[in-house]
């Protein structure tokens, strides 16, 4: 079986990877400086010229780009080539403000799809596989990224897009899908729906799933793997850097290999901007080394993460990033304590609850309140109110241990929390802080 999509790159020696990066960064900085007035000004303000960048180590001299810069440059301000050279646009969901639009040349699409192809092969995919893509198609990068990657591998591709779970299940069963690509919350929902229709984990032909576009926990991985009878692999990416496939998991399932020949990763202290050594936790920063149309240099992702370069049993040599430990923009500060929704999910799954929950934050009498609606499963329901109250107390206590603050737990009937077909909305913050 094919083990790598591009073995010569994916298993290249460290020296070879650095050599590739050295060549590409010099060329890329020149390209951006010559074509993007906005970034040229940032470099000029710092007194940096393209000649100062002689190798990948010099990258630390370059200014950062932040989400605010992208908003300011909307729509064409960071475009680095003539529009006539571009063949596609994708856009972020805009949930945290103004949309970001990203441009692609055919070269950019090809390298992105190759990255997705690497992810599919790493998940055990080959031309014998049937890949069911139920990420949304359209402006969102999820659908087209995995779709293109699936084509590159030569898999039979089912372009389902998101939603219509009945049809997803019918095609999955009738057309023998072997690899499922969607958000983890939708994968969990499909597993739940299969169970409801009387299918066990062994009744489908699925062997693997490639899940991303939202944060998920190890506990959720276990639940999806058991529910669908598959191996569940994480995939990472963002519209700003191209889309899914910037990094992907291999058979070891202990972090995602970053496609370092295209995307250079750094971890920085989010306060000072200082680059942190390998193994330290900080904000993930990406530089697109050879994208043409929308080549962001030192883009701050807001994802909190750790990079490691240990030897991987899969044979790949590219650096690994851990699952993002939350994004600084979905991090909630409640009564001064940093709270990530992923921590709440971990506690729920550990305590035997479903991953269906909704977090409400509010401010009453100048004090933050944290309320969590949690779905009750039929076997947890007791006719005795004291038993139920004990359950709530026990859950609230585990939450307090994990989060450092105590939430109020509200048990709600099964299936009352809205299921998501794309990115799940887990947090409603009603505080008027701005």
Site mask, other proteins, residues 324-363, x = CB under 8 A? ----------------------------------------
By rule CB under 8 A, what count of residues binds other proteins? 17
Among 410, 425, 428, 430, binds other proteins (CB under 8 A): 410
Q: Taking CB under 8 A as the rule, does residue 389 contact other proteins?
A: yes
DSSP 384-423: -HHHHHHHHHHHHHHHHHHHSSPPEEEEE-TT-SPP-SSS
Q: How far is CA 432 from the centre of its chain?
A: 28
Q: Taking CB under 8 A as the rule, does residue 197 contact other proteins?
A: no
3-state secondary structure of 365: coil
Q: Taking CB under 8 A as the rule, does residue 386 contact other proteins?
A: yes
Q: Taking CB under 8 A as the rule, does residue 1 contact other proteins?
A: no
3-state secondary structure of 307: strand
- C-alpha 290/C-alpha 107 separation (Å) is 9
- CB-count exposure of residue 76 (10 Å: 0-12, 13-18, 19+): exposed
Work out the end-to-end distance of the chain between its first and last CA atoms, rounded to an integer number of angstroms: 55
Q: What is the CA radius of gyration of the chain?
A: 22
98, two tokens:
């103004």
Q: Taking CB under 8 A as the rule, does residue 41 contact other proteins?
A: no
| Strand ranges, E, within 15-129 | 86-91, 101-105
Q: Taking CB under 8 A as the rule, does residue 418 contact other proteins?
A: no
- C-alpha 15/C-alpha 177 separation (Å) is 40
Question: Residue 75: is the preceding peptide bond cis (ω within 30°)?
Answer: yes
Q: Taking CB under 8 A as the rule, does residue 413 contact other proteins?
A: yes
Closer residue to other proteins, CB minimum distance, 306 or 374: 374
Q: How far is the CB of 389 from other proteins (least distance, A)?
A: 6
Q: How far is the CB of 134 from other proteins (least distance, A)?
A: 25
Among 388, 396, 405, 427, binds other proteins (CB under 8 A): 388
Q: Taking CB under 8 A as the rule, does residue 381 contact other proteins?
A: yes
Q: Taking CB under 8 A as the rule, does residue 385 contact other proteins?
A: yes
Q: How far is the CB of 223 from other proteins (least distance, A)?
A: 21
Closer residue to other proteins, CB minimum distance, 13 or 384: 384
Q: How far is the CB of 373 from other proteins (least distance, A)?
A: 9
CA dihedral 24, 30, 31, 34 (to 10 degrees): 180
Among 84, 384, 418, 434, binds other proteins (CB under 8 A): 384
The region of 59-67, 183-191, 225-233, 410-418 touching other proteins under the rule CB under 8 A is 410-418
Q: Which of 261, 255, 248, 263 lies closest to 179 in space, CA to CA?
A: 248
The region of 92-100, 109-117, 317-325, 411-419 touching other proteins under the rule CB under 8 A is 411-419
Q: Taking CB under 8 A as the rule, does residue 433 contact other proteins?
A: no
Q: Taking CB under 8 A as the rule, does residue 412 contact other proteins?
A: yes
Which residues touch 146 (CB under 8 Å, ≥6 apart)?
A: 116, 119, 120, 131, 133, 135, 181, 210, 244, 245
422, two tokens:
């794309």
Q: Taking CB under 8 A as the rule, does residue 369 contact other proteins?
A: no
- C-alpha 133/C-alpha 179 separation (Å) is 8
Closer residue to other proteins, CB minimum distance, 76 or 381: 381
Q: Taking CB under 8 A as the rule, does residue 198 contact other proteins?
A: no
The region of 126-134, 238-246, 309-317, 404-412 touching other proteins under the rule CB under 8 A is 404-412
Beta carbons of 212 and 244 less than 8 angstroms apart: yes
The region of 40-48, 57-65, 298-306, 381-389 touching other proteins under the rule CB under 8 A is 381-389
Q: Taking CB under 8 A as the rule, does residue 378 contact other proteins?
A: yes
Closer residue to other proteins, CB minimum distance, 131 or 391: 391
Length of the chain: 434
Site residues (vs other proteins, CB under 8 A): 376, 378, 381-386, 388-389, 410-416
């Amino acid at each position: 079986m094919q083990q790598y999509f591009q073995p010569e790159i994916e298993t290249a020696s460290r020296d070879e990877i650095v050599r590739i990066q050295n060549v590409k960064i010099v060329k890329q900085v020149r390209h951006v400086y010559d074509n993007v007035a906005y970034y040229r000004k940032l470099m000029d303000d710092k007194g940096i010229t393209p000649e100062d960048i002689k190798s990948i180590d010099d990258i630390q001299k370059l200014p950062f780009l932040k989400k605010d810069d992208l908003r300011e440059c909307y729509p064409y301000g960071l475009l680095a080539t003539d529009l006539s050279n571009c063949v596609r646009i994708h856009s972020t969901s805009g949930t945290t403000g103004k949309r970001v639009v990203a441009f692609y040349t055919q070269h950019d699409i090809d390298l992105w799809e190759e990255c997705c192809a690497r992810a599919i092969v790493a998940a055990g995919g080959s031309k014998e596989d049937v890949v069911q893509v139920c990420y949304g198609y359209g402006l969102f990068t999820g659908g087209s990224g995995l779709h293109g990657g699936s084509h590159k591998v030569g898999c039979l591709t089912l372009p389902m897009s998101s939603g219509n779970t009945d049809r997803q299940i019918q095609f999955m069963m009738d057309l023998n899908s072997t690899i499922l690509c969607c958000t983890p919350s939708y994968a969990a929902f499909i597993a739940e729906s299969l169970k409801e229709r009387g299918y066990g984990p062994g009744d489908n032909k699925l062997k693997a799933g490639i899940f991303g576009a939202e944060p998920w926990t190890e506990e959720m991985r276990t639940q999806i793997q058991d529910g669908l009878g598959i191996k569940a692999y994480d995939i990472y990416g963002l519209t700003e850097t191209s889309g899914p496939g910037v990094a992907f998991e291999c058979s070891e399932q202990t972090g995602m290999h970053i496609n370092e020949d295209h995307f250079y990763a750094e971890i920085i202290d989010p306060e000072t901007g200082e680059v942190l050594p390998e193994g330290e936790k900080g904000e993930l920063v990406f530089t697109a080394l050879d994208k043409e149309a929308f080549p962001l240099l030192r883009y701050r992702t807001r994802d909190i993460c750790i990079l490691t370069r240990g030897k991987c049993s899969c044979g790949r040599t590219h650096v690994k990033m851990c699952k993002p430990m939350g994004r600084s923009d979905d991090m909630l500060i409640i009564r001064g304590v940093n709270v990530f929704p992923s921590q709440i999910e971990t506690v729920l799954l550990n305590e035997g609850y479903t991953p269906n929950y909704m977090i409400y934050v509010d401010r009453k009498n100048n004090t933050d309140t944290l309320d969590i609606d949690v779905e009750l499963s039929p076997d947890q329901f007791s006719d005795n109110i004291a038993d139920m109250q004990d359950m709530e107390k026990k859950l609230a206590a585990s939450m307090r241990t994990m989060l450092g603050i105590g939430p109020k737990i509200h048990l709600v009937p099964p299936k009352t929390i809205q299921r998501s077909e794309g990115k799940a909305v887990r947090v409603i913050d009603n505080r008027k802080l701005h």
